[in-house]
Structure 1
């Protein structure tokens, strides 16, 4: 906890520096040059931590998302710059270091009935997710009796649930503290009917929203000489490559192991298959499609299948789940000791 507080204090100081630099230096290359030390610090911060949970959260929130947001901010773009008026310092800090994005145009205020229905649905959804994560942790005690493919499937679902819960909690915290309406982090990825739909419109929308202006759109512009029907192809590949590199970096932070590049191959496979899929759709021009339920089964089956083959082994290599479960157990022991101390103190007091 001490290391976590020190690391995030360094993050806050760096973001304050960024905030005030922007008031003195106009957007452009000069501002970006002055912010480069912050980018470097954010790449170093995860090395200051030892907890697998703190490393993962800090690496994703700060080294990846915050760095990309700050680069856009230096150029006058992105979620830190796209609002009608400058953000206040507290909101700037929240949007910089948490996976949230303020909506560009406010939604119409919901009726009390619709708001209550959505609240109950959301509460039920996340309650089920938490219950299943707890169940998975219990099942891992018997993992030696499980087939490898079944265990990797549990890891895949566990990873998805954990990521969605962390992002939802971060967004809810900011919503409660600031009253801002935030864009969703996931859009029911299990309903995806294609790889383009899954990666572009449903899975981890904060990453998609950051990669599009920082990688995809500039690459489309660079290859514009190919024409609008072809310039998107290298842009798709480069976007997936950047995502693969950042994921390899995340695993390096958590495992401190030399990468074997299987994670990068996972994203290259997704890039190739997504490109082929889009080309086929452009060729047939929606004259022929699979039934929706078949498209969903094929899409999710392909993503999970390739993840079990290339992506999820990195979790096993870095021993992430075992270390995480060990930290849960340590927290439980601390909570038990505190409870016993309080009971003992109360007993002797009375």
Structure 2
């Protein structure tokens, strides 16, 4: 009912403020983290896009309020058009997923088992080198995020019949930073940052200096915003609301600079030189892991996210054990 622009933004801002406050009242690391990611970040960005007439919430003007809320808060989207001749129009991210490995129940079952093995491995953390623990964090975060996002998306598809948003596409197969961040790692984030940050900056610099080099400041600006949002996520997760040290932001600034340099180099040597995937894949993964262990993953210990998560795993294990004993005693 409210026209897009400043007037609609005024009506949306109280909800944005509520969503920013919501994770502060949750003590669970897992529930707080999920809420911070889905609500304080993704939902708020969708609402800000909606205020100006853009984004997934504006794709269908006749959308009902329950569906509007569902699409706002969950990693799902409305299917814009029915399949034609058995084929549906795909986004670049979806095409990448189609061209890559097709994920089935076995894929997720293996990752669930690996996640359980990593959690068990922490029992022996006192015998491990600190860098090895950070490496475990890397795989732990990847498998946990993929399983949570896949489960929530599948539930939405089953209950509501809505289309899944792409999530991860085997990031360890990345051949470049551009491939890692744009096509393989947490595609929901890149999908929401593209219209909210990348495109506005791209359009501005296109008008100022032309199309060829405009993507460079747009990419870097997107990574800076992503760094601030990740810093906010960890502030929510921190026990006692630890003051940021900005290493998380520096991680994304570093990757933004490196990705900007990579894109500039590709533009300068178009079609003239390309590393074989046998070399580019390990280089990309090693760079991501080394910089992650330097700036990103140490924040889990600094904010005591790991301690709280393990306490929740132990509580869940004790609860399941009690339930199983109760069932056995009844039988």
Is the CA contact 1:100–1:185 (under 8 Å) kept in the aligned structure 2?
A: no
Is the CA contact 2:75–2:164 (under 8 Å) kept in the aligned structure 1?
A: no
**Once the 2 structures are TM-superposed, how far is the Cα of residue 109 of structure 1 from its aligned partner?**
4.4
Report 1:105-184 matches (<5 A).
Answer: 105-107=81-83, 109=86, 121-184=103-166
**Once the 2 structures are TM-superposed, how far is the Cα of residue 341 of structure 1 from its aligned partner?**
4.1
Flag structure 2 segments of 5+ consecutive residues without an equivalent: 88-99
The one of 236, 242, 258 equivalent to 1:257 is 242
The one of 207, 214, 218 equivalent to 1:235 is 218
Flag structure 1 segments of 5+ consecutive residues without an equivalent: 1-23, 111-117
Indicate yes or no: 2:163 matched with 1:186.
no
The one of 54, 64, 75 equivalent to 1:99 is 75
**Once the 2 structures are TM-superposed, how far is the Cα of residue 231 of structure 1 from its aligned partner?**
2.0
| Cα deviation code 1:284-313 (max 9, x no counterpart) | 112111111211111111111110110001
Say if 1:25 and 1:267 are closer, same or farther in 2 by CA, change over 3 A. same
Q: Secondary structure at the match of 2:69?
A: helix
**Once the 2 structures are TM-superposed, how far is the Cα of residue 79 of structure 1 from its aligned partner?**
1.0
**Once the 2 structures are TM-superposed, how far is the Cα of residue 55 of structure 1 from its aligned partner?**
0.7
TM-score (norm 2): 0.90
Q: Secondary structure at the match of 2:274?
A: coil
Q: What is the total number of aligned residue pairs between the two structures?
A: 315
| Cα deviation code 1:238-291 (max 9, x no counterpart) | 110110000000101111111111111100110010011011111111211111
Indicate yes or no: 2:30 matched with 1:53.
yes
TM-score (norm 1): 0.85
Separation (CA, whole Å) in 2 of partners of 1:196 and 1:90 = 36
| Equivalent in the alignment of 2:93 | none
Structure (1 or 2) with the larger CA radius of gyration: 1
Report 1:1-350 matches (<5 A).
Answer: 24-83=1-60, 85-107=61-83, 109=86, 121-223=103-205, 224-255=207-238, 256-344=241-329, 346=330
| Cα deviation code 1:91-144 (max 9, x no counterpart) | 22221111223344455648xxxxxxx999511111011101110111001011
Is the CA contact 2:76–2:163 (under 8 Å) kept in the aligned structure 1?
A: no
